Amino acid sequence: MLSPLQFALLSLVPIGIVVLYFLKLRREPVEVPSTFLWARTIEDLHVNSLLQKLRRNVLLLLQLLAVLLAVFALLRPGQRGQDADQGRIVFLLDTSASMQATDVDGDESRFEKARRMIRERIDAVSANESLMLVTFSDRPEVLQSFTTDRGRIRDALDRAEVTNHPTDVFGALKAADGLANPRRSSELGDVNDIQVADAMPADLLIYSDGRFDEVSEFDLGNLVPDYIPIGTKDVSNIAITAFSAERNVEKPSEVQAFATIVNLGTDAISSTATLSWDDDKLSRSEAFRDAETVSLEPGEQVGLTFTLESEEAVSLRLALEVDDDLVIDNVAFAGLTPMRTVSVLLVTPGNKPLELGLRTEKAAKICIPQDVLPSYLESDEYKARAEAGLDDLIIFDRCSPSRMPNTNTFFIGALPPDMTLLPEDAEEDAGDETAAAEVQESDASDTAAESATGSPEDDSDPTPQNEGWSWATDPASVVLIDMDRTHPLMRFVEVFSLLIFNGRAIDGPPGSVELIGADIGPMLTVAPRAGFQDLVLGFEIVSTDAEGNPQTNTNWFAERSWPVFVLNVLRYLAGAAESSGAPSFQPGQTVQLRLESAIVDAKFRRIGGSSQTVSTGPSGLTEIVETEEAGNYRVESEDTLADLFSVNLFARSESDIAVADDVVFGYETVEGTTGGVEKRIEYWRWLLLIMLVLLGAEWWVYSRRVA
Amino acid sequence: MPATSQATPLLSPDLLARLERLELVSRKVFRGRMKGERRSRRKGQSVEFADFRNYVPGDDLRLIDWNLYARLDQLFLKLFLEEEDLHFYSLIDASESMNFGDPTKLHVAKQLAASLGYVGLCRADRVSVAALGPQGRSAPVLRGRASLWKMFQYLESVESGSNISLYDGVKDFSIRNSGTGVAILLTDLMDKEGYESALRMLVGRRMDVFVMHILSPEEIDPPLRGDRKLIDVEDGDAAEVTINSYVLEKYKQTVQSFIGSIKTFCSRRSIVYIPVRTDTPVETIVTRYLRERGVVR
């Protein structure tokens, strides 16, 4: 409303127009034969000349109407109205997954209803109120900072989108709190005191279903909260809160899938849980694997187990065939990582069977071998890669490094170096070891010369020996008598028919496991080493005769079990197969993967979606941030699957969608309100529009020269 | 609004031919001075001696009474009771207000005066066409068809601008012309001093008075709108008026009321009132309107 003075001033405007109308008249002179009759005419009108001038004066009438409308519009007439107490309003809009629930009448979802209610509130507030819009799920986002521009706040509201994320309201409260409650004060005028903004109290309107944890360590301070619950208490929702897949350690080809299903609604629900391959190349019937019916009372939960057969990487999808109020938790995804492509460094003076074994068709799918001579062990390059652990497996054939690398190892006919030596001593020994290696070769050649007889050579081997590892016997012919078939390294391996001309029994360090036993003692032993594993074979595959020519020490390479054993070494020792399932992340989380060092550029995609390129770091570390959608994600390199992971909500608090009656911030409990707004419909815009039309009509009338 | 002078001839040859068949009609019998074709109370050339009158150049010499000349040394005519000529007076209002319209009212007045004057000349009536005011003093008195060119010459010389009132103009005419006859007043009657006195004077002179009220369409229905300052061309008087449809309507009513009052005045005094619009052809006015009103036949 206007003050009396303003009214008085405004009332002078139409009076001024009328006065100016009379004063401003410029009459065009016209000669007439005689003013005799005009004078008579004017004389008749003279009695009420003032009124006659005004009478039927369309122009004046239009101008007066226009001014009156403008004055009226300035008064901002409207229906009712509701002012914010603080003059500032912060809208907190919940965009978490639970806001996708459809238990609202008249709106598509809870989120759309909240958006509509905020829009109505924006229309109802007065023009001089500042508004701010913050959305929150598991992270806050300030879509629009304080503004009085209604258009900008509406645009920001239109940009808001619901997410698949869980809820964490604390960040949003901090954003609002930062403005309302400055943490320190300042002395005005004190040059030594850095001036800070004054506290700006604000109304805090929270449009949410309240499905978030209590925010106990938070003080509202100058924020005046108002919780507007969105949703209902009578809901229907059954959710998958856990789903994973694992390989059977004993039978790597067997995959087991585990799921937890819970009824978080207010009514009993029956549904069918359908398990299928998650593969967009398969039809629905081709992808189907298994199904199970669940019937749950409110609050009841059940666990399901499915068994599948697959040696390859698997992506699974479990879906509840039910139409409830929240659909995002009706589908879950899980995966199993495939055989990893591993990097294998083969250090050998020459071992054709082993080289071929690493390059079979199956081995080639999971292994990238590199062959080097034992002299490579002296290079700085080797030392660097051994230190960095760039290789997944290093095979030392008839040689040993001066220092154990930071990776799994496989020693053939040699022992790991003495780990008790100091690095410099190790280097000295490395030099000795190189010489020793050469001596060993010559010895090997001597051995080879005696290979026909199979008599072991006398040991004058100066090879330094690990404290944990040692030769238990002198070289002798070997007859294999025992084998641990349960160990993954020995899967599908038959060795009892092997001919071994020369070998030594092995004494491993504490914790070592004998895999193959011979008549003379352990012939194949695996032992842990600070997170790694070392496999030691007591006999050589290929040895060297006295002339230095390579010769075979066994016929294993000719047996069917040789490539199988090499494959087992790659799978188990090099880590080409893991038994655990692919990790699951929540929507929106950044996924960090460590890909094989051999992979430089990779592509990832959600099954059913499009591919995106992702680059790997020097250590194979990759970060993927586009994880908004739930599903199975595959990381591929050159059409080979490198890794996979899944994205699932798995948040019981989000699936429990019954709206909360109140929310707790610190020590304050905020009861829910209806959030209804008495709309203030202002007409001033319409009045101004009509005024513009009148001005146009006045111009038209004037131009037609009709007063 | 003033208009340019008319360059067109006053009377077309066709009109002249038609006018020859007309004659002026007077509702009264006047005493003419010369032999005419009208019955008159005056004495004429008949067996019945009526009277003497002074000789006027142009009179018939055979009627001169030589005996009286011998005795009195003055020329007199013997008059006998017989039909006499009619004295026809056309009085033209040449005020500035007549210089309005297209064609101007003055031009139409001249045309009408010429038409009626020609009719009279063809009938050997005594015709006097004169403008009111100083220009009327040089107006010739005409008789006979041969005087037509004099009449046209005089009419051509008449110009607007003699802002003399109707009363003064008629009074001046009456002083210079003592006779009676038919007097046709060609005017717009836009005299702020009024028309009544002038007409009364003519009636008092026992004239057979006809008033041809000449108005232009722009005066009857002015095409004026908006805020105007109307300036009288005769006296410079200004009237500020905002002309809208209402005011215009009132003005038209004023015009009609004015015309109505003139009609009433004229009818009470046996004056024939003839309204004339300048956008009406002269032929139509003379051959139809004037005939209907009994001015000519």
Q: How many residues does chain B have?
A: 297
Ranges A123-132, B48-57, B256-265, most confident: B256-265
pLDDT range class, residue A439, cuts 50, 70, 90: very low
What is the per-residue pLDDT across A614-650, written as a single tens digit (0 to 9) for each? 877 665 667 888 899 999 998 888 777 778 889 998 8
Q: How far is A117 from chain B (nearest CA, A)?
A: 57
CB contacts of B254 in chain A (<8 Å) are 37, 40-41, 44
pLDDT band, residue A52 (cuts 50/70/90): low
Read off the pLDDT of residues B185-220 as tens digits, 9 standing for 90 and up. Answer: 999 998 888 899 999 999 888 888 999 999 999 999
User: Is residue B33 predicted with pLDDT exceeding 70?
Assistant: no
What does the pLDDT average to over B242-248?
A: 86
Q: Which residue of chain B is at minimal alpha-carbon distance from A25?
A: B227
B230 and A30 within 8 Å at the Cβ level: the answer is yes
Tens digits of residue pLDDT in A556-571 = 999 989 999 998 898 8
Whole-number pLDDT of residue B42: 46
CA distance B251 to chain A (A): 5
Instruction: Give the integer Cα–Cα distance in Å for B179 and B32.
Output: 8
Q: Can you list the alpha helix ranges (DSSP code H) found in A230-269?
A: none
What's residue A506's pLDDT?
A: 94
**Do A33 and B98 lie within an 8 Å CB cutoff?**
yes
CB atoms closer than 10 angstroms to residue A307: 11
Residue A200 dihedral angles phi and psi, to the nearest 5°: -120, 90
Using the beta-carbon criterion (under 8 Å), do B239 and A38 form an inter-chain contact? yes
pLDDT digits (tens, 9 = 90+) for A526-540: 998 877 889 999 999
Number of Cβ within 10 Å of residue A158's Cβ equals 11
Residue A458 pLDDT greater than 70, yes or no? no
In this predicted structure, the answer to whether residue B145 has a pLDDT above a threshold of 60 is yes
Does the structure show a pLDDT above 80 at A394? Answer: yes
pLDDT at site A331 = 94
Which chain B residue has its CA at the smallest distance from A703's CA? B226
Residue A494 has phi, psi (to 5 degrees) of -120, 125
Provide the pLDDT for residue A1: 57
Cβ <8 Å between B98 and A26: no
**Which residues on chain B are in Cβ contact (under 8 Å) with A705?**
225-226
- Residue A457: its pLDDT value, please? 43
Nearest CA in chain B to A58: B244
Q: Is the peptide bond before B103 cis (omega within 30 degrees of 0)?
A: yes
Contact B230 A38 (CB under 8 A): yes
How large is the average pLDDT for residues A240-266? 84
User: Are B254 and A52 within 8 A, CB to CB?
Assistant: no
Q: Mean pLDDT lowest for which of A9-18, A390-399, A623-632?
A: A9-18
Contact between B255 and A27 using a beta-carbon 8 Å cutoff: no
Report whether pLDDT(A249) > 70: no
Residue A365 predicted with pLDDT over 80: no
Provide the pLDDT for residue A95.
Answer: 95
Residue of B96, B189, B193, B230 to mutate for A, most A C-beta atoms under 10 A: B230
- Chain A: closest CA distance from residue B215 (Å): 10
Query: What is the model's pLDDT at position A330?
Result: 95
Report whether pLDDT(A274) > 70: yes
Cβ(B102)–Cβ(A33) under 8 Å?
A: no
Q: Which helix (H) or strand (E) holds A683?
A: none
pTM of the model: 0.46
**A539's tokens:** 């006999």
Flag if B233 and A26 touch (Cβ within 8 Å): no
The answer to whether the Cα torsion of B158, B159, B162, B167 is positive or negative is: positive
- More reliable by pLDDT, B184 or A691: B184
Q: A121 is written with which tokens?
A: 């509130």
Q: Does B238 contact A35 at a Cβ distance shorter than 8 Å? A: yes
The answer, yes or no, to whether residue A72 has pLDDT greater than 90, is no
* Chain A / chain B CB contacts < 8 angstroms: 105
For residue B227, what are the contacts with CB-CB under 8 A and spacing of at least 6?
Answer: A25, A26, A27, A28, A707, B240, B241, B242, B243
Predicted pLDDT at A45: 64
Tell me if chain B has a CB within 8 Å of the CB of A47.
no
Nearest to B192 among A26, A36, A44 (CB): A36
Of B55, B102, B95, nearest to B75 by C-alpha is B55
Q: Is A29 on the interface with B (CB under 8 A)?
A: yes
| CA proximity to A38, closest of B97, B140, B121 | B97
Using the Cβ of A702 and the Cβ atoms of chain B, whether some distance falls under 8 Å is answered with no
Instruction: Out of A124-133, A157-166, B144-153, give the one with best mean pLDDT.
Output: A157-166
Contact, A259 vs A303, CB < 8 A?
yes
Q: Does A50 touch chain B (CB under 8 A)?
A: no
Name the least confident of A341-350, A448-457, A674-683, B216-225. A448-457
What is the pLDDT averaged over residues B156-185? 86
In this complex, the residue of B228, B231, B247 whose CB is nearest that of residue A45 is: B247
Summarised one tens digit per residue, pLDDT across range A578-610 is 555 788 888 988 887 766 655 667 888 898 888
Kindly determine whether residue B2 and residue A31, on different chains, have CB atoms separated by under 8 Å.
yes
Q: Does A28 touch chain B (CB under 8 A)?
A: yes
What whole-number percentage of chain A has pLDDT above 90? 36
The answer to whether the Cβ–Cβ distance between B228 and A55 falls below 8 Å is no
pLDDT range class, residue A396, cuts 50, 70, 90: very high
* B191–A36 C-beta distance less than 8 A: yes
pLDDT at site A572: 80
Q: How far is CA A577 from CA A522, A525, A634, in A?
A: 26, 20, 16
Give contacts of A 261-280 with B, CB under 8 A. none
- pLDDT confidence of A450, banded at 50, 70, 90? very low
Sort out which chain A residues have CB atoms less than 8 A from B245's CB and list them: 56
User: Hey, which bits of A441-531 come out as E strands?
Assistant: 470-471, 476-478, 480-483, 500-503, 506-507, 513-518, 521-529
